[in-house]
Chain A
Amino acid sequence: MTKVISIQKAAAINPLKSSQPLGAAFALLGIDAAMPLFHGSQGCTSFALVLFVRHFKETIPLQTTAMDEVATVLGGADNLEEAILNLKTRTKPKLIGVCTTALVETRGEDFSSDLANIKRKRAEELAGTEVILVQTPDFDGAIEEGWSKAVTALIGLVRHEAPKRIIPGRINILPGWHLTAADLELLRETAEAFGLDAIIMPDISGALDGTVPDRWIPTTYGGTSVDAIREMGRSAHTVAIGEHMRTPARRLREVAGVPFTLFETLTSLKSVDRFIALLAEISGRPVPARISRRRSQLQDALLDGHFHFGGKRIAIAAEPDHLFMLATFFSGLGADIAVAVTTTGQSPILEKVPATKVKVGDLMDFEDLAAGCDLLVTHSHGRQAAERLGIPLMRVGFPIFDRLGTQHKRTVLYEGTRDLIFEVANLFQANLHPATPEELNPFRNSGEHHDRDTQTAHH
């Protein structure tokens, strides 16, 4: 069992985390015609918005209740009501997702009864728009927790009155936040190869995979429709990806009786085999030849790629499920997870990470631990550490603001695992250091050369 080490210092230096409400908004961006609304000061929204824009290079719908000092002292219910009504009139969304922030949570109000009041009082004005609440103070959790809470809140929209007819050819997929738009498209196509219709929720492909609609749209576009969410109770099965999807998957089972299978990762041959077998079982169809062909390509990639991975020391800093996915990927090819840093310490998946210990911390902890490693694996903020340490950086997760095309990269199933192998192997090949005579000298560790690294060694 991997040891999880908690934070011991007072100053976080170069944060690894993005905030919990940002994670919740991220999930809401995967719902069609949705408008995430941060209940807090306008800065809370502005910072998250700018970060999303830098990552996705897209317009991001995200609004604020604009809490000022007076509203903070007197209570925010009026601001919340005004914001919801304004959004409804201006953008006509199908869904408004209220995400609380540290400011309003520190003050502490009864948000759910405030919201229930607003919905009752304004039922007429709000007709046709669902409003949900996600409690996501910034002083707790990170993206993963926010995403999980938002998806759980969205499950609240699922219609569950009996009797219901199950649609045998339909499944639900609850992807973790760390899957890309391309991953979701791939999951859908793979399900379709078995004749299965998949409701993916949330589905950030569509709005956030870089398309150009022919008119201006103020809300999200693409993504899971509210109607589809309502129908999720009639699906034959739910596939959840990542430990943080267990809570929403369980919730869906509780409210609508849909059984679920949880995949801790889909970035290894074995786990993808299990996923494909599940689809074959649910659909009652044989595995299509083209999927077998992809599997074979992955086998070949594993064979060709393993030369570059064996014995390499990898340093990873990522949210818990993402860390698990990446660490098992690297260790599955013979690399050594020398450093594992994560955002929060609660997830049970951390104990399964193939490393001796996982440090809950920031990118300065990461930088301190990663000296001497062969590869850094984290988001774009790792660039300063990579520069100082002189170690190549593989950019993963969120935010990635200094590279294009992140959303089109596949990271799951046979294709995604294959692509990742090539990406890493190419990074290593691009950063090869030819050996020097000193490094290869058989006497390099004996007395006469003991301080060979210093200038005085040659006197």
Chain B
Amino acid sequence: MLKAKIQDAFNEPGCDKNVAKDDAERKKGCAKRLTPGAAAGGCAFDGAKIVLQPITDVAHLIHAPLACEGNSWDNRGAGSSGSNLWRTSFTTDLTELDIVMGNGEKKLYKAIREIKDRFSPPAIFVYSTCVTALVGDDIEAVCRHAAQKFGLPVVPVNAPGFVGSKNLGNKLAGEALLDHVIGTVEPDDVSLTDINILGEFNLSGEFWMVKPLFERLGIRIRACIPGDARYLDVAAAHTARATMMECSTALINLARKMQERWGIPFFEGSFYGISDTSDALRQTARLLVGRGAALDLIERAEALIAEQEACAWAGINAYRPLLEGKRVLLNTGGVKSWSVVSALMEIGMEIVSTSVKKSTAEDKERIKQLLKDDNYMFDAMAPRDLYKMLADNKADIMLSGGRTQFIALKAKMPWLDINQERIFPYAGYDGMVELVKRIALSIHNPVWQQVREPAPWDDNGHLIGRATAPEVELAEDRDDHFLAHHRKKFVGADASDMAEC
């Protein structure tokens, strides 16, 4: 069952990279075999949970020994405008006895009942993991039985960690929604301007920066999956008229199958960057009009875009004096939005290097055009090399995810989080202004000068340079007034000031 699902996930006509492969290559899957002792990144379970957990009113129950959930709960900053149940952690926390005695399925069933009794969620999602898959717990049967008995949806998410990477887990989560959730509820308020957004996580609440743009055009978000989603909205997502898909590698299978099954056209877009945001609004309007929405939607969208773009550029240009000529090192798993890069370049920043680890051939072509030099691209840089590049002052800031944060910081180099743990919202027009502001604040923080200044003594503790100069001066002149003057002069001085005395 799961084998077939995984093979299916590896065959993705919606993915350019996948289509370019031959049959044998495709069968091997998207991820390369991990090297023991040299692997990084999450497992399939991690990936599945990342995609589904931000559905806010669902109880997410992890069927596993402690670590899978106990070491990872409440760790993501997705925003919820309603229920906070998604931040409550549920696990069967299997003990040795549970495993040896084969009590797993019974314990799972009881756990579902306890959660239903205490929290009455609209649905419970049950996640399998390595150990429970290994001992053969049939979570699909337990979920089916519990759903009948308790009269609420109990959704099995079958993505144990050892079947593969985080990305595969993302896709298996999409499959779980297709198999058990989407299409199970028929809403009574369907309209011609309902859309879905897939792959939007509402990190730091950033979807709330773009949602009002759609609303101003009279477009309703039927379901944003998973950011700030409610179970019933996801269950009714099949009634939307168009889909925008963000972060394509995560949920492309879901977008494509929703098109096949319910005829919902989709486009791939992004809210990062000004032109990407405009494009998203434009394409949404076009798809909706194509399916019967009023024709003036396109005009109204263009008017809104013109107004918002002007505003955003004015905001960004204010930072030009601070950022012109500054060098950016991009180290992220494939830049998802080229309009961010082009906006940074537009105000005079220089991209000195970028990772192309997860980029497609098409992406690489775009990078070449933008950067005009192949040498700027690297596949994956060893931490040691990355550290050296930063320590040698080959860039003014690194933009990356949390994983490489301390490489930059230990090299005393400004760093900005542009991945999922970030605390500032960067979506839409306002988000781009915020990003540029954060880059400027980071580069110009006075802390960099301070931390780069060496101590005024050597490795053996002997003072170096002319740090002792003030005392020499003082010794030469005993005049009290002079002394007092000089003492005052050094009030508030720090080590860096002393070196120049």
Residue ranges of B at the interface with A (Cβ–Cβ < 8 Å): 33-46, 61, 64-75, 84, 87-96, 98-99, 107-115, 130-131, 134-135, 161-164, 383-384, 387-388, 402, 406-407, 410-412, 451
* Known contacts A9-B114, A64-B36, A102-B65; A46/B90 CB under 8 A: no
Contact yes or no, A13 B35, CB < 8 A = no
> CB < 8 Å: which of A50, A71, A140, A381 contacts B96?
A140
Q: Is A4 an interface residue (CB 8 A)?
A: no
Contact yes or no, B67 A19, CB < 8 A = yes
CB-defined interface of A131-164 with B at 8 Å, one 1/0 digit per residue? 0000001111010000000000000000000000
User: Closest CB of chain B to A365's CB: distance in Å?
Assistant: 12
> CB < 8 Å: which of A12, A46, A85, A212 contacts B46?
A46
Contact yes or no, A58 B131, CB < 8 A = no
User: Closest CB of chain B to A341's CB: distance in Å?
Assistant: 14
When chains A and B are docked, how far (Å) is the Cα of A40 from the Cα of B161? 10
User: Closest CB of chain A to B452's CB: distance in Å?
Assistant: 10
Closest residue on chain A to residue B410 by CB atoms: A212
User: Closest CB of chain B to A443's CB: distance in Å?
Assistant: 38
A65 contact set on B, CB distance < 8 A: 36-37
Residue ranges of A at the interface with B (Cβ–Cβ < 8 Å): 9-15, 17-22, 37, 40-48, 50-51, 53-54, 57-59, 63-69, 71-72, 79-80, 82-87, 90, 101-103, 106-107, 137-140, 142, 212-213, 215-216, 218, 362, 364, 381, 384
Contact yes or no, A59 B406, CB < 8 A = yes
> CB < 8 Å: which of B41, B89, B98 contacts A13?
B89
Contact yes or no, B73 A212, CB < 8 A = no
> CB < 8 Å: which of B41, B96, B108, B134 contacts A42?
B41
A215 contact set on B, CB distance < 8 A: 387
Contact yes or no, A11 B162, CB < 8 A = no
B90 contact set on A, CB distance < 8 A: 11-13
Closest residue on chain B to residue A53 by CB atoms: B402
Contact yes or no, B75 A17, CB < 8 A = no
Closest residue on chain B to residue A383 by CB atoms: B74
Closest residue on chain A to residue B388 by CB atoms: A216
Q: A13-B115, A19-B67 are in contact. List 15 more A-B contacts (CB 8 A).
A: A9-B110, A11-B110, A41-B161, A47-B42, A47-B67, A50-B75, A59-B406, A65-B37, A82-B36, A83-B36, A86-B35, A102-B130, A138-B67, A139-B66, A384-B74
Contact yes or no, A103 B130, CB < 8 A = yes
A216 contact set on B, CB distance < 8 A: 383-384, 387-388, 407, 410-411
A-B contact pairs, 12 of them (CB 8 A): A11-B112, A14-B89, A17-B93, A22-B71, A37-B37, A41-B161, A44-B161, A46-B40, A59-B406, A59-B410, A139-B66, A384-B88
* Known contacts A13-B89, A14-B89; A48/B67 CB under 8 A: yes
Contact yes or no, B71 A83, CB < 8 A = no
User: Closest CB of chain B to A398's CB: distance in Å?
Assistant: 11
When chains A and B are docked, how far (Å) is the Cα of A46 from the Cα of B37? 13
B37 contact set on A, CB distance < 8 A: 37, 63-66, 82-87, 90
User: Closest CB of chain A to B53's CB: distance in Å?
Assistant: 14
When chains A and B are docked, how far (Å) is the Cα of A43 from the Cα of B42? 5
User: Closest CB of chain A to B309's CB: distance in Å?
Assistant: 37
Contact yes or no, A68 B162, CB < 8 A = yes
Contact yes or no, A11 B91, CB < 8 A = yes
User: Closest CB of chain B to A237's CB: distance in Å?
Assistant: 32
When chains A and B are docked, how far (Å) is the Cα of A40 from the Cα of B134? 13
> CB < 8 Å: which of A84, A106, A218 contacts B384?
A218
User: Closest CB of chain B to A127's CB: distance in Å?
Assistant: 18
When chains A and B are docked, how far (Å) is the Cα of A84 from the Cα of B35? 11
User: Closest CB of chain A to B392's CB: distance in Å?
Assistant: 12
* Known contacts A10-B111, A139-B66, A216-B384; A79/B36 CB under 8 A: yes
When chains A and B are docked, how far (Å) is the Cα of A17 from the Cα of B36? 27
Contact yes or no, B91 A12, CB < 8 A = yes
Contact yes or no, B46 A43, CB < 8 A = yes
When chains A and B are docked, how far (Å) is the Cα of A10 from the Cα of B387? 47
* Known contacts A102-B65, A106-B134; A69/B162 CB under 8 A: yes
> CB < 8 Å: which of B34, B40, B135 contacts A68?
B34
Contact yes or no, A18 B134, CB < 8 A = no
When chains A and B are docked, how far (Å) is the Cα of A112 from the Cα of B42? 27
Contact yes or no, B69 A15, CB < 8 A = yes
When chains A and B are docked, how far (Å) is the Cα of A451 from the Cα of B134? 57
A11 contact set on B, CB distance < 8 A: 61, 90-92, 110-112, 114-115
Closest residue on chain A to residue B89 by CB atoms: A14
User: Closest CB of chain B to A65's CB: distance in Å?
Assistant: 5
When chains A and B are docked, how far (Å) is the Cα of A131 from the Cα of B35? 19
B75 contact set on A, CB distance < 8 A: 50-51, 54
Contact yes or no, A12 B88, CB < 8 A = no
A37 contact set on B, CB distance < 8 A: 37
When chains A and B are docked, how far (Å) is the Cα of A94 from the Cα of B84? 46
Contact yes or no, A63 B162, CB < 8 A = no
B38 contact set on A, CB distance < 8 A: 63, 86-87, 90
A46 contact set on B, CB distance < 8 A: 40-43, 46
B73 contact set on A, CB distance < 8 A: 14-15, 381
A66 contact set on B, CB distance < 8 A: 34-37, 39
Contact yes or no, A72 B130, CB < 8 A = yes
Contact yes or no, A139 B410, CB < 8 A = no
